[in-house]
Structure 1
Amino acid sequence: MPSFQGHIYVVTDQIPNWLNVSMPQSQLRVISTQEIMDNRYLPTFNSHAIEANLHKIPHLKEFYLYFNDDYILGSPVFIEDFFIDGRCPVIYGDDRLTANTNLTLNIHKKAMLNTNALLNGLLSKANARTNDSDRRFLPHAPHPLRKSIVEQVWVSKFADTQREQSSHRFRDMNDVHPTYFVSRFLIEQSNACVEQRRMKSGCPLDGQDFCNQVLTNNYSKVTEYFDGLRLRSRMPKFLSINDRTTTNYTYQDIIHWEFQRFLKEMFPQKSKFESKDCTI
């Protein structure tokens, strides 16, 4: 992002050995869960609980971006990809409706359905701007957020839900989906400006800015995927690569090697946040 002048907050309790956090006045700061969550809820292994507390990051600005840890910026991006006119969040939804009962019910989908139930309780309000028929899955994507809206959800309106969710040390079928919740609240209930955009599931053809891919126990599919990316005229702006290989899979090590090779091709130069002696 050419004009980026902000800070990067990495929320984790496990600092990888290649990450250089010793730089004075660095743009990057590691935030432990102890800094944003009540100690009685720790340790936690629930991403839903952590997401519901991200607004407590010290010095977090009003406008910020939230990325999952499997996300890569593959091509140059600009502020308009995230905030229209520098202030209106762009909400990226995919082509699946959360109301589609044919989709497999897993914790991820159940959290969105639980969120819909809370949102439905607000639809009778006079300021509701939509109904529940067009609620789309929130994929792994850049999530532009406004701190004041997040606080309105978790502090002013749903503090009990936030506390209950924070107490779940592992993902729970009673969880709500925090980022989806805030995004839908922004669209349906707030008076703030917002723009909705669609992204396709999977990895569309060359020219698309989104590519969400899952690495599975299929070596030929994995190599086909990486080779397809190499043939593109340019990398997609937003690239999510999620590893779902299993430890007993024969080709797991080779798949991980292919992934590392691809990353080294994409980013041949070390980031200033990587340790100089890093060999990954």
Structure 2
Amino acid sequence: MSLQKMIMNWTAVYVFILISCLILSVYIHFLEEWNALEEYNSRLLKEGINTDTMHTNVEVDLNEQVDLVYTWVNGSDPNFNRQLHEYLASINRKNTDVMELNRFYDLGTIKYSLRSVEKYASWIRHIFVVTNGQFPSWLRRNHPKLTFVTHEEIFANKSHLPTFASPAIESNLHRIAGLSKRFIYMNDNILLTSKLELSDLITIGGKYKVKFMTERPFMCNKLCNVNSVNNGVCEQNCLTESCEFDGDDCIGKKPPPYPGTDGAFMFDSWMGSIMHTYFLLNKWFGPKDRYVAEHGAHLFDRTIINKLNKRFPKEWELTSSHKTRHHLSVQFQFMFIQYLKETGQIDVVSDMRKARKCCNKVKLVVDNRSDESRRKQIEVCSLELKLKKPNYLVLTNSFTMAMSDKRKSIIEADITNFLETLFPEPSSFER
């Protein structure tokens, strides 16, 4: 055998071993996360309840009147764009087309989400859509079961307006006039793909049904675990902005500076708000592992939201005041669900295989891929919907570069055609 062939053979063996080790390490990491999540749910079921805040569950009437709340924005509206650009210019912050595409680009999903709700959850009493004053052109505005609510109607502090931050809007949803005590909140990019009952969201014993992802916040920088912030111990490794300088732990002390090389690192605004809320919960209930809930329709209680508001009034007010997304915001869904967990108000499925099966969703990521690739992606998504029969279809934007109006129109047409095949019948909310 020639030397060249020997080298090629050994190279192939080396590559095989390297790939095998990589697959094994990913599998081991997955098992560790899976076991951690099962242990987490086991603690919820057995002993993970804070007795100082134990809630006495009251029997729930599964026929009670429950409303649905959406938040919606039409990012192509000229008035909206003018206000956004004027505000960004006033704070010397550069606007990016990619940011607008990912946060405000409207693919028309709310029309089909409403069709899905009318098809699979017609028992919902009333639907509220919170906007900055926009209305879709196809909307039947005098529908008795649908109300569009402006930001001005729900923000207690009008100086916080206009706002372009979803956490700010969400922190005021419980102020919607006439809203039911318990209400469902979901984004307009979520479509129901199977029947939804109130019993899917809460038990007759008053425990909320929550499904957690296997992901959880872990480190707020390279050296500091999230459970080390607001744990009562001043730690040098947590003295970065991403760890909020160890919360309250180092107040009045002069520890040495952070020893790592990533001191200037910051999370994106969404994960930053999760971390911020995590640190507040550490202060309230003590450090412990906390997982993020699955994306979907969730049930909320106005009474509990008011209680959370009163517990952290400054933080809630600060969240409401942010004009654009900010890491120092309360992530209200994360806080609400973690409060439920702490007070014994969660019904957890102990077998995570069943939990994953019951809460599965199909996700369609809309991005800068080619037209051919996107259409193949939609075909795969359609097949997944038929095979998996999930609870939800979730469409998310993940653009990495700006696009021309022509490219946008092609994407919009592809998505509209896809959603029309899923929900061809117009809802009563359309003209």
2:48 is matched with: none
Which of 134, 142, 145 is the matching residue for 1:27? Answer: 145
Q: CA separation in 1, counterparts of 2:126 and 2:137?
A: 21
Could you tell me the TM-score, scaled by structure 2's length?
0.55
Residues 217 and 251 of structure 1 are in contact (CA less than 8 Å); yes or no, is this contact kept in structure 2?
A: no
1:136 is matched with: 291
Q: Secondary structure at the match of 2:285?
A: coil
Q: Secondary structure at the match of 1:223?
A: helix
Is 2:376 the counterpart of 1:256?
A: no
Could you tell me the TM-score, scaled by structure 1's length?
0.82
2:366 is matched with: 215
Structure 1 pair 258–181 and aligned structure 2 pair: CA distance change class (3 A): same
Residues 9 and 28 of structure 1 are in contact (CA less than 8 Å); yes or no, is this contact kept in structure 2?
A: yes
What CA deviation, in whole Å up to 9, does each residue of 1:252-279 have, x standing for no partner? 433322111011111111110012xxxx
What CA deviation, in whole Å up to 9, does each residue of 1:113-170 have, x standing for no partner? 000000000124xxxxxx522x22344321211111111101x211111111111111
The structural deviation recorded for 1:84 is 1.9
What CA deviation, in whole Å up to 9, does each residue of 1:206-263 have, x standing for no partner? 9973123321111344323321232224642211101234542685433322111011
The structural deviation recorded for 1:3 is 6.0
Is 2:257 the counterpart of 1:105?
A: no
Q: Which has the higher strand share?
A: 1
1:18 is matched with: 138
Q: CA separation in 1, counterparts of 2:377 and 2:360?
A: 16
Summarize the alignment of residues 218-237 of structure 1 with structure 2, pairs less than 5 Å apart: 218-219=369-370, 220-231=372-383, 232-233=386-387, 235-237=389-391
Is 2:229 the counterpart of 1:77?
A: no
1:278 is matched with: none
| Unaligned runs of at least 5 residues, structure 2 | 1-119, 223-265
1:90 is matched with: 209
Q: CA separation in 2, counterparts of 1:187 and 1:87?
A: 13
Q: CA separation in 1, counterparts of 2:138 and 2:300?
A: 29
Structure 1 pair 109–79 and aligned structure 2 pair: CA distance change class (3 A): same
Structure 1 pair 117–32 and aligned structure 2 pair: CA distance change class (3 A): same
Residues 181 and 303 of structure 2 are in contact (CA less than 8 Å); yes or no, is this contact kept in structure 1?
A: yes
The structural deviation recorded for 1:86 is 7.3
Output the amino acid matched with 1:272: S
Residues 220 and 275 of structure 2 are in contact (CA less than 8 Å); yes or no, is this contact kept in structure 1?
A: no
Q: Which has the larger radius of gyration?
A: 2
1:122 is matched with: 284
| Unaligned runs of at least 5 residues, structure 1 | 125-130, 276-280
Structure 1 pair 2–72 and aligned structure 2 pair: CA distance change class (3 A): closer
Corresponding residue pairs, total: 258
Structure 1 pair 2–33 and aligned structure 2 pair: CA distance change class (3 A): closer
1:239 is matched with: 393
Q: CA separation in 1, counterparts of 2:430 and 2:122?
A: 21
Summarize the alignment of residues 134-173 of structure 1 with structure 2, pairs less than 5 Å apart: 135-154=290-309, 156-173=310-327
Output the amino acid matched with 2:272: K
| Cα root mean square deviation, aligned | 2.7
Q: Secondary structure at the match of 1:64?
A: strand
Structure 1 pair 96–186 and aligned structure 2 pair: CA distance change class (3 A): same
Residues 366 and 395 of structure 2 are in contact (CA less than 8 Å); yes or no, is this contact kept in structure 1?
A: yes
Q: CA separation in 1, counterparts of 2:152 and 2:187?
A: 19
Q: CA separation in 2, counterparts of 1:208 and 1:120?
A: 28
